[in-house]
Amino acid sequence: MRVLKFGGTSVADADAIRRVVAIVAEERRTSVIEGPVVVVSALGGVTDKLLEVAALARRGDATHALALVDQLYARHLETLAALAPGEHGGPVPEAVDALFAQLRAIAGAVAVLHEASPRSLDAIAAIGELASSRIVTAALQSAGTPATWADPRALIVTDEHFTSATPLLDAIDVQAPAHLRPALAAGRVIVTGGFVGATGKGITTTLGRGGSDYSAALIGAALGADEIQIWTDVDGMLTADPRVVEQPRLVPTLSFAEAAELAYFGAKVLHPKSIQPAAARNIPVRILNTFRPQAAGTLIADGACPDRTAVTALACKRGITVVTITSTGMLMAYGYLRRLFEVFERHQTPVDVVSTSEVSVSVTIDDRAHLDRIVAALSDFAEVSVSNHLALIAVVGEGYGHEPAAFSRVVRALEGLPLRLVSQADSRRNVTLVLDEDALGVAMSRLHAEFFGKPVATPATLMTSAAGR
């Protein structure tokens, strides 16, 4: 049994959802005995719009908030009508109506109070996946595939950390199979919404932006799936972010550890936490393109990567902040680092990269929400400086540690660019670099050319460069 997750672009409109229906039908025709379980994101762009509804309402602008709700409602109804006309919509139009009625009520309340708590934000954001999963269920049924909708709030049990809740694995291991196994055994396809969960008391939560991948992995792990497929709008994991580097290549295979590093350091195609549940149960993950289903995609599994070049792929993230803590108290002292990291822990701020010298420690963070309080607390025992507008690059590969020249190739490629931080752990699966955001594009292109070759000039790019001369 497989879990197939379709992202926002893959369910953006009726045409895209028809592709999803065809992929699910093909999955049932060619492969396995049960399933699949289909996990869907909100229709493309809807989560952003829902958060905009919340922001407008919080400012007290009920008129614009409700106008946006009406637009979203119309888009959902139109998509549903195109896919499941007439009675094929079944009870779905009512379910979608109920969701939008709820959304209007919450947005109205937020507008009156001028306050949107994280809990209200989750109630609002969850509408996207709750509605899209209903529509995809109806589309499958209308195309003759026996499909059953499952409420993600009955499957993904989480803590109460609204807007980025932590899933409670033991509870999910019980709840997800209990809810899904009977319908699977009856030969039905299950459709559920990603991103959404609920606390033990049934209050709606979300897993954080991009969290549908994580939902799919959690459900796949709980059911002991044979494979988790992430269907998206690119051919697989690419050698770099296609929005930053021209013509990145497809990476056909990745180890779990490589995939986790790349996702953590910015390869948006996978949610950073989505690899962990799959790796823990050794379930292969495949990234596939909804718009080119015949393409081979990327397979993530242990032992999937036979001959490795030094670098498998690059990842990058903007908006990084470096905090540098300097104190002579660090000289020859023990307990100092504990004291320092405790400050970040107390303010629930993850530290990504660490670099130390004799009297100073520099760390990167990408969540600045508690920065002021962190700086104040550190200033009690050290001098603190903060640099913003930085970017981070991770050069990742299982083969990296086996090529002695790898690091010097990285440094040579970046010659002349001011590096702020460099960190390479002894596992030697990656090197992480921090530099000014402005230099990111150049740095990524140079590294990419060094490890994967220069982009091939197409007639279009030749023309542009000729015109530019």
By CB under 6 A, the residues from 100 to 129 that bind ligand ASP are: 128
Q: Least distance in Å: CB of 45 to ligand ASP?
A: 8
Stretch that binds ligand ADP, among 178-186, 261-269, 384-392, 435-443 (CB under 6 A): 261-269
Is residue 195 near ligand ASP by the rule CB under 6 A? yes
The sign one gets for the Cα dihedral 149, 153, 155, 156 is: positive
x/- mask, ligand ADP, residues 147-166, rule CB under 6 A, reads --------------------
| Site size toward ligand ASP, by CB under 6 A | 12
Contacts for 449 with CB less than 8 Å, ≥ 6 apart: 413, 455
Is residue 38 near ligand ADP by the rule CB under 6 A? no
Q: Which does 205 bind (CB under 5 to 8 A by kind): ligand ASP, Mg ion, ligand ADP, none?
A: none
In 29-134 the beta strands, taken as DSSP E runs, fall at 37-40
Q: Rounded to 5 degrees, what are φ and ψ at 264?
A: -65, -40
Nearer to ligand ASP, 41 or 253 (CB): 41
Q: CA 142, CA 145: separation in Å to the nearest integer?
A: 7
Q: CA 6, CA 12: separation in Å to the nearest integer?
A: 10
Sole binder of ligand ADP in the list 37, 156, 184, 234 (CB under 6 A): 234
Which strands make up the sheet holding 147-150, listed edge to edge? Answer: 147-150, 189-193, 37-40, 2-6, 227-232, 285-289, 298-300, 253-254
Of residues 287, 274, 284, the one with CA closest to residue 231: 287
Token pair 């400012």: residue: 59
Is residue 132 near ligand ADP by the rule CB under 6 A? no
The residues that touch Mg ion, with contacts defined as CB under 5 A, are: 7, 210
Nearer to Mg ion, 7 or 36 (CB): 7
Structure tokens at 422: 């460099």
Nearer to Mg ion, 210 or 272 (CB): 210
Q: Which does 237 bind (CB under 5 to 8 A by kind): ligand ADP, Mg ion, ligand ASP, none?
A: ligand ADP
Q: Least distance in Å: CB of 341 to ligand ADP?
A: 29
Structure tokens at 151: 């409420």
Sole binder of ligand ADP in the list 269, 301, 343, 440 (CB under 6 A): 269
With CB atoms as reference, the residue minimizing the distance to Mg ion is: 210
Q: What is the CA radius of gyration of the chain?
A: 24
Is residue 238 near ligand ADP by the rule CB under 6 A? yes
With CB atoms as reference, the residue minimizing the distance to ligand ADP is: 7
Q: CA 244, CA 443: separation in Å to the nearest integer?
A: 10
> Which residues form the interface with ligand ADP (CB under 6 A)?
7-10, 41, 210, 232-234, 237-238, 240-243, 267-269, 313
